[in-house]
Structure 1
Amino acid sequence: MIFHARRLYVELMFQVMGRALQAVSEVDSEVKEEAQVLPEGFLFEMMVMPNGPSMIVEHTGLGRFRYHGDNAPRPVDLSIQFKHIAHAFLVLSFQEKTSVAFANDRMLVDGDVSYAVRMTRVLNRLESFILPKLVAERAVKEYPQNLHLPEKLVSAARIYLKVATNFVETVRP
């Protein structure tokens, strides 16, 4: 029962994160700048081993991401893999920072480590926007000192609106 609940939660969080990565790349200049270094067509995957939930995001150029759900159109360039659903749950429920999970050998990186570091910075920036500051400070390695409440609220609202719009568009027949 607990395993299935955690799996459903991780699946939902991957869907939200994938859509939110696409959205944040449309609204935040720092994320765009960070992502521009990635090659166009670069595919990023985050998954639970061996055949658990996953999300695929593609860098389409100019610092923009596109969410592909859990279906990669071709082999991925970078995969961050949780070794167990319980490990993914700890990170995605913001009980453990990604850096701590990696240090505790709960995750693997398959691909260029410099790209993994870059994607982790993008994910940290996203979490800083969409999570309450108290939760974000527990989730990310370092909360951005230059992220003030007005910018956070406006950006979070824009990101959540784009995520909700994306959910509606993918549900329509």
Structure 2
Amino acid sequence: MDIKRFQPLASRAKRQYVALMFQIMGRALQAVSEVDQEVQQEAQALPEGFLFEMMVMPDGPSLVIEHVGDGRLHYHGSSAPRPVNVSIRFKHITHAFLVLSFQEKTSVAFANDRMLVDGDVSYAVRMTRVLNRLEAFILPRFVARRAVKEYPKNLHLPEKLISAAQIYLKVATHFIQTARA
């Protein structure tokens, strides 16, 4: 009987965690596209105005990112201004929680049929590489190795620390600007 009482609480906590992580990831994707040349090169292959969405089905938390040109990404929050080009959809909040709490790699979640890709798969793969690069920067190495398929061999500590500091500063600034608006 006690377990039944805690299940809704656990589900709400997972949902809130996933929603918060999507907000952080969205802002961090925008920031990393301003800081890192490799991310800019990946994003430049996307058409200008390209919209990417990551969400929990059917109407759970989400994030929407737009390629605004020159390899720069813009975070739109949880709603798209027009139909998205690529959507990565988690089938359940628990699946999103596993990935966003770094208990399961995105590639493993996809292999375990926990998520769907709607749209051009090559663009989805490109966005996954951008996400992996972001995670390599902002997460401690031992956590990032659990989160990404392959940790970048050319990412050394000084570059990681400087880029992570820049990304976190931009994310914090964006949160503050959003709170003031």
Q: Which amino acid aligns with 2:80?
A: A
Task: Point out where structure 2 has 5 or more consecutive residues left out of the alignment.
Answer: 1-8
Q: What is the alpha-carbon distance in structure 2 between the residues aligned to residue 54 and residue 88 of structure 1?
A: 10
2:108 aligned partner:
100
2:6 aligned partner:
none
Q: Secondary structure at the match of 2:54?
A: strand
Q: What is the alpha-carbon distance in structure 1 between the residues aligned to residue 128 and residue 134 of structure 2?
A: 10
Q: What is the alpha-carbon distance in structure 1 between the residues aligned to residue 61 and residue 129 of structure 2?
A: 22
Q: Identity across aligned pairs (percent)?
A: 78
Q: What is the alpha-carbon distance in structure 2 between the residues aligned to residue 68 and residue 120 of structure 1?
A: 18
Alignment of 1:80 with 2:75, yes or no, is no
Q: What is the alpha-carbon distance in structure 2 between the residues aligned to residue 151 and residue 92 of structure 1?
A: 24
Alignment of 1:51 with 2:37, yes or no, is no
Alignment of 1:29 with 2:37, yes or no, is yes
Moved over 6 A (4+): none
CA displacement 1:77-127 (0-9 Å, x = unmatched): 000000000000000000000000000000000000000000000000000
Q: Secondary structure at the match of 2:60?
A: coil
Q: What is the alpha-carbon distance in structure 1 between the residues aligned to residue 79 and residue 93 of structure 2?
A: 19
Q: Which amino acid aligns with 1:141?
A: K
Task: Point out where structure 1 has 5 or more consecutive residues left out of the alignment.
Answer: none
Q: What is the alpha-carbon distance in structure 2 between the residues aligned to residue 94 and residue 70 of structure 1?
A: 21
2:28 aligned partner:
20
The TM-score with structure 2 as length reference comes to 0.95
Structure having the higher Rg:
2
The TM-score with structure 1 as length reference comes to 1.00
1:160 aligned partner:
168
Shift of 1:71: 1.2
